[in-house]
Amino acid sequence: VLQHNDDTEDVSLFDAEEETTNRPRKSKIRHPVASFFHLFFRVSAIVVYLLCELLSSSFITCMVTIILLLSCDFWAVKNVTGRLMVGLRWWNHIDEDGKSHWVFESRKESSQENKTVSEAESRIFWLGLIACPVLWVIFAFSALFSFRVKWLAVVIMGVVLQGANLYGYIRCKVGSRKNLTSMATSYFGKQFLRQNTGDDQTS
Amino acid sequence: MKSRIREFDSSTLNESVRNTIMRDLKAVGKKFMHVLYPRKSNTLLRDWDLWGPLILCVTLALMLQRDSVDSEKDGGPQFAEVFVIVWFGAVTITLNSKLLGGNISFFQSLCVLGYCILPLTVAMLICRLVLLADPGPVNFMVRLFVVIVMFAWSIVASTAFLADSQPPNRRALAVYPVFLFYFVISWMILTFTPQ
C-alpha cells in the first residue's frame, strides 16, 4: 500500500512538471473529417488499382478513377490535412526576380488549447503519408518486371505525387526541429530589434 | 525569409478549407483566361500550378479514344500514349530551355506548356462534333482549318510567356521544340477517326 501511494505521488509530480514545460498531448482526434479524407483517397486509389480487373472491365475507367483519386489526395494532403492535423505546410513561391523558393512552414508551438497537435492525429497522418508511397514504389517494380507496361504511367504518377508530399512534409518536420533549439534566442533577438527599429526584417 | 514565413503563418496556415479551395479554383480559372486572351503578363509564370494541365491532358486523352469492338483493347494504350506524349514532351522542352540558359523554373515551364494545350483541346472538341456529320473532303477541310487556327493560337500563347525567359539570340532554339510539341498534338487530333 505504501508503495502504491509512492507511485501515485510520483505520477502526479511528473504530470505537473509536464504541464508547465511541454505542451499537453491529447490523444483524441480533433479533426475526424480531415483524418478520414487523408486516408480515404490514398487507400481507395490503392484498392482500385489492385481490384481493377474485378471492378470494371474498362481499363480507361480504372485509370481515370485512379488519376482523379491521386490528384484529390495530393491536393487534400498538401493543402488541408497537413495544416489541420500536424500544423505543417509547404509550397513554392516565386518572387519578383523570377527565382523560385520552396517554403516549408510549421505552426509555432503555442499554448492555445485548440492549436496543439494531438498524438492520435499525428500518428494517423504520418502512417498514411509513409505507407502509401512505399506501396506505390512496390507496384512500380511489379508492373515493370511483370511487363504490365500500360499501368506504368499511373503507377509512376502515384509514386511522384505521394512521394512529393512525403518529401515536403519531412522537410517541414526536420526544418522545424532544427529551428527549435535556436528559435528562442533568435525570437527574442528579433523582438528586441523590431521594437527598436520598427520596420520589416529581412533575413 | 523568416519574416515572410511569419507573414504567411497567419494567412495560409489557419485559413478555412473553403478559402483554400476557392483560392486554388480562382487561380486555375484566371490562368485559363490568360491563355484564351494572351497578354504579356507574369501571372501565368508567377503562381504556377499543374491542375489545369492535368485536367486538359485527361480531357484530351478521353476524347482521343476510339470506340473499339472488342473490350480487349479498349483504348487503354492510346490513353496512356497521350499522357506520355504530353508530359514527356513538356519535360523535354523544359530541359531544353534550361540547357539553353533560360531563367525559367522547371514547374513554371511545365505550367505554361500545359495550359497552352487549351486551344487544342477546344479544337479536339470541335473536331469530334464535326465528325458526327457525313465524312468527306468538306469535313476534312473544316477540321484542318480549325486545327491550324488552334495550333497557331497555342504557339502564340506559349511563346508570349516563354520567349522572354531566353536571351534574344537563343529564342528560336528554345521555341522550335514548342512548335514540334504542339504539332504532334495537332497531328493526333487531325488524324483521329472514331473507328
pLDDT tens, B76-119? 667 888 888 999 999 999 998 888 877 788 888 898 899 999 99
In A69-98, the residues whose Cβ lies within 8 Å of chain B are 71, 75, 79-80, 83, 87, 89, 91-94, 98
Confidence of residue A121 (pLDDT cuts 50, 70, 90): confident
Quick one: average pLDDT of B165-189? 87
Partner residue facing B75 (CB), from A60, A98, A200? A60
Measured CA distances, A113 to A23, A25, A108, A155, B159 (Å): 9, 10, 13, 41, 52
Query: Which range is least confidently modeled, A71-80, A156-165, A194-203?
Result: A194-203
- Is residue A142 one of the residues assigned to a domain? yes
Are B80 and A203 within 8 A, CB to CB? Answer: no
Confidence of residue B14 (pLDDT cuts 50, 70, 90): low
DSSP state of B5: H
- Is residue A104 one of the residues assigned to a domain? no
Residues in chain B: 195
Instruction: Tell me the residue range of the domain where A136 lies.
Output: 32-86+113-164
Taking only the tens place, the pLDDT of each residue in A155-193 is: 999 999 999 999 999 888 887 666 555 655 666 677 778
pLDDT at residue number B92: 93
Query: Which range is least confidently modeled, A11-20, A68-77, B140-149, B154-163?
Result: A11-20
Buried b (16+ CB within 10 A) or exposed e, B139-149: eeeebeebbee
Are B24 and A75 within 8 A, CB to CB? Answer: yes
Instruction: Tell me the residue range of the domain where B157 lies.
Output: 10-65+74-192
Tally of domains in chain B:
1
Smallest Cα distance from B125 to chain A, Å: 19
pLDDT at residue number B3: 37
Confidence of residue A10 (pLDDT cuts 50, 70, 90): very low
| Closest Cα in chain A to B16 | A80
- Is residue B111 one of the residues assigned to a domain? yes
pLDDT greater than 50 at residue A126: yes
Query: Which range is least confidently modeled, A27-36, A69-78, A135-144, B138-147?
Result: A27-36
Long-range contacts of B72-78 (CB under 8 A, 24+ apart): B74/A57, B74/A58, B74/A59, B74/A60, B75/A59, B75/A60, B76/A59, B76/A60, B76/A63, B76/A150, B77/A150
- Is residue B5 one of the residues assigned to a domain? no
3-state DSSP percent of chain B in helix, strand and coil, to 5: 75, 0, 25
Interface residues on B facing A, Cβ-Cβ cutoff 8 A:
1-5, 8-9, 12-14, 17, 20, 24, 45-48, 51, 54, 58, 62, 65, 71, 74-77, 79-80, 83-84, 103-105, 107-108, 165
Mean pLDDT, chain A, whole residue set: 77
Q: Which residues of B touch A67 (CB under 8 A)?
A: 54, 58
Cβ(A108)–Cβ(B14) below 8 Å: no
Enter the C-alpha cell of residue B55: 485536367
In A27-66, the residues whose Cβ lies within 8 Å of chain B are 57-60, 63-64
Cβ(B9)–Cβ(A107) below 8 Å: yes
Buried b (16+ CB within 10 A) or exposed e, A117-151: bbeebeebbbebbeebbebbeebbeebeeeeeeeb
Tally of domains in chain A:
1
Are A100 and B83 within 8 A, CB to CB? Answer: no
pLDDT at residue number B33: 86
Query: Which range is least confidently modeled, A37-51, A72-86, B33-47?
Result: B33-47
Smallest Cα distance from B3 to chain A, Å: 6
**Chains A and B: how many Cβ contacts under 8 Å?**
81
Cβ(B153)–Cβ(B119) below 8 Å: yes
- Is residue B4 one of the residues assigned to a domain? no
Smallest Cα distance from A130 to chain B, Å: 22
- Is residue A21 one of the residues assigned to a domain? no
Q: Which residues of B touch A64 (CB under 8 A)?
A: 58, 62
- Is residue A19 one of the residues assigned to a domain? no
- Is residue B2 one of the residues assigned to a domain? no
pLDDT at residue number A196: 78
Quick one: average pLDDT of B21-41? 83
